[in-house]
């Protein structure tokens, strides 16, 4: 097995697909958003990605069956509901080391080239370290035209935000993609960073679906948000969280 092994379940024929990335990160915003969209658009899994840069670990399903931790690729073809073929990148983990993250993102871009992908949307959370009333969606893009286009869709571009840049796959796919002339946008939903945040995921999807011109139902995300709110309602004072935890939560976007 190579350092990164892509196990194809099928090899879909796609026409100029876009790539949407939603790997685990701050508030799991990107992951929640991408998985919801996969579910609603009935996208199909076509590849597993295994790598020694992931944790050395299997996950155990409800049925007691193990599977190696992985990233996964799904696809959906253009249809009445959505205007373009789409490939989704989701998964259990990002690479454990900086070098591993570079390697995995470069492998994803190899796949992007194979499928002739010309545009990438990376989804993530933007951790504020405080409770968020109404999550705005911040953006960053690989060229000024895309910035302008995204602004028209309601994405916020605010000077100096995110000040520390975008760390992890959401950043690397854009940065490395840009070198290879693949354009891309990162959409970041504001979130406290303390909990999984389905509301922020919904905010990100609100923008993304406008861009993609699709309409989807949000009831599962809304019900997840209600659950999280119940769990967190009794937490009065977030400032009592250890500082290190707060920092960690802001780290990978």
Residue closer to a copy of itself by CB (options 77, 195) is 195
Residue closer to a copy of itself by CB (options 110, 217) is 110
Cis ω for the linkage preceding 162 (within 30 of 0): yes
Residue closer to a copy of itself by CB (options 83, 227) is 227
How many other C-beta atoms are found inside a 10 Å radius of the C-beta of residue 175?
Answer: 16
Residue closer to a copy of itself by CB (options 17, 100) is 100
Question: Are the CB atoms for 112 and 49 separated by under 8 Å?
Answer: no
d(C-alpha 66, C-alpha 20), whole Å: 27
Least separation in angstroms between residue 79's CB and a copy of itself is: 31
Residue closer to a copy of itself by CB (options 179, 233) is 179
Least separation in angstroms between residue 187's CB and a copy of itself is: 12
Burial tier of 47 (Cβ tally within 10 Å: 0-12, 13-18, 19+): buried
Backbone φ and ψ of 73, nearest 5°: -115, 130
Least separation in angstroms between residue 69's CB and a copy of itself is: 7
Planar angle of CA 185, 189, 193, nearest 5 degrees: 130
Residue closer to a copy of itself by CB (options 66, 233) is 66
Least separation in angstroms between residue 18's CB and a copy of itself is: 17
Least separation in angstroms between residue 97's CB and a copy of itself is: 8
Which residues are near a copy of itself by CB under 8 A? 1, 5, 7, 50, 52-60, 62-69, 95-103, 105-106, 139-144, 147, 157, 159-162, 165-168, 171-172, 174-176, 178-179, 186
CA 193 to chain centre: 15
Least separation in angstroms between residue 145's CB and a copy of itself is: 10
Question: Are the CB atoms for 20 and 89 separated by under 8 Å?
Answer: yes
d(C-alpha 104, C-alpha 22), whole Å: 14
């Amino acid at each position: 097995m190579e350092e990164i092994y892509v196990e194809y379940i099928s090899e879909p024929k796609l026409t100029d697909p876009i790539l949407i990335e939603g790997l685990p990160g701050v508030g799991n915003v990107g992951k929640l958003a991408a998985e919801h969209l996969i579910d609603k658009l009935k996208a199909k899994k076509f590849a597993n990605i295994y790598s020694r840069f992931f944790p050395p670990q299997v996950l155990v399903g409800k049925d007691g069956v193990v599977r190696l931790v992985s990233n996964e690729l799904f696809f959906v073809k253009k249809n009445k509901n959505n205007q373009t073929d789409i490939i989704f990148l989701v998964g259990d983990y990002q690479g454990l080391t900086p070098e591993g993250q570079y390697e995995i993102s470069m492998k994803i871009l190899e796949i992007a080239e194979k499928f002739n992908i010309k545009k990438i949307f990376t989804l993530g959370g933007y951790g504020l370290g405080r409770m968020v009333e109404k999550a705005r969606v911040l953006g960053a893009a690989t060229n000024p035209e895309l910035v302008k286009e995204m602004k028209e869709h309601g994405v916020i571009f605010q000077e100096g935000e995110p000040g520390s840049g975008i760390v992890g796959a959401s950043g690397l796919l854009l940065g490395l993609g840009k070198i290879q002339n693949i354009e891309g946008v990162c959409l970041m939903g504001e979130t406290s960073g303390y909990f999984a945040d389905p509301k922020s995921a919904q905010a990100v999807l609100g923008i993304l679906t406008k861009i993609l011109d699709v309409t989807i139902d949000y009831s599962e995300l809304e019900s997840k948000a209600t659950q999280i709110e119940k769990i967190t309602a009794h937490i009065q004072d977030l400032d009592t969280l250890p500082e290190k935890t707060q920092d960690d939560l802001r780290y990978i976007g």
